[in-house]
Structure 1
Amino acid sequence: MTEQTAWPLWEVFVRANRGLSHVHVGSLVAPDAEMAVRNARDLYTRRGEGVSIWVVPTDAITTSDPDAKEAFFESSEGKNYRHAVYYTASEGVPHL
């Protein structure tokens, strides 16, 4: 009897129309990238709503820690000038 190996998990991103961003639509398991693309097409674009599919092995994705969101996303000290709230609109410039 041979030992079975689990197929890798893939994250699927679909772009609905040209010019739009790819959006995460779900996950699937497949033995390789080619089969992952074919399975993604069958699962997530059955009604012809996709023009492009990306599949990425789940273990190739690196994420930030949700528990450290305050420290990770807060502005660095001394860089408050990056926030537009500190600027005022110039008078006499109608398009601003």
Structure 2
Amino acid sequence: MSNKEWPLWEVFVRSRNGLDHKHCGSVHAPDPKLALQMARDVYTRRQEGVSLWVVRSDHIVASDPDAKPELFDPAADKIYRHPTFYRLPDEVDHM
């Protein structure tokens, strides 16, 4: 099996505990275990991360950019979803 026949895996790295995983690139690998090892070798050579995710690219389901109005615009009329009607305490960050 050549490298061109291997599936593509998307790689996500969490740089520190408590932070989100961020997409950092892709690798080709024949299976999940090797994809994880290759992702570690390529994207965390300098100990940049504490956690890795690998996901086969053909398993990712994404919305169509042309469907933006149906997916996202209706939420704009639901003002109760945003904390704008009361003052948040100073101790609360990132809202």
Distance in 2 separating the partners of 1:55 and 1:94: 38
State the Cα RMSD in Å: 2.8
Aligned to 2:31: 32
Matched AA of 1:54: W
Q: CA deviation at 1:82?
A: 3.0
Larger helix percent: 2
**Count of matched residue positions in the alignment of Structure 1 and Structure 2:** 89
Note the C-alpha offset of 1:75: 1.4
Residue 68 (structure 1) aligns with: 67
Normalised TM-score (structure 1): 0.76
Partner deviation per Cα, 1:54-93 (whole Å, 9 max, x = no partner)? 00111111010011112211116xx6343548x644xxx7
Residues 81 and 34 of structure 1: CA distance in aligned 2, closer, same or farther (over 3 Å): same
| Corresponding residue for residue 80 of structure 1 | 78
The CA deviation string for residues 27-64 of structure 1, in whole angstroms up to 9 with x for no partner, is: 11100001100100011011111111000111111010
| Unpaired runs of at least 5, structure 1 | none
Q: State the structure with more CA Rg.
A: 1
Distance 2:88 2:25 in 1: 45
Unaligned 5+ runs, structure 2: 91-95
Give the fraction of aligned pairs with identical amino acids, expressed as a percent: 48
Could you list the structure 1 runs, at least 4 aligned residues long, displaced by more than 4 angstroms after superposition. 93-96
Alignment of 1:41-56 (within 5 A): 41-56=40-55
| Residues 94 and 28 of structure 1: CA distance in aligned 2, closer, same or farther (over 3 Å) | closer
Distance 2:65 2:82 in 1: 26
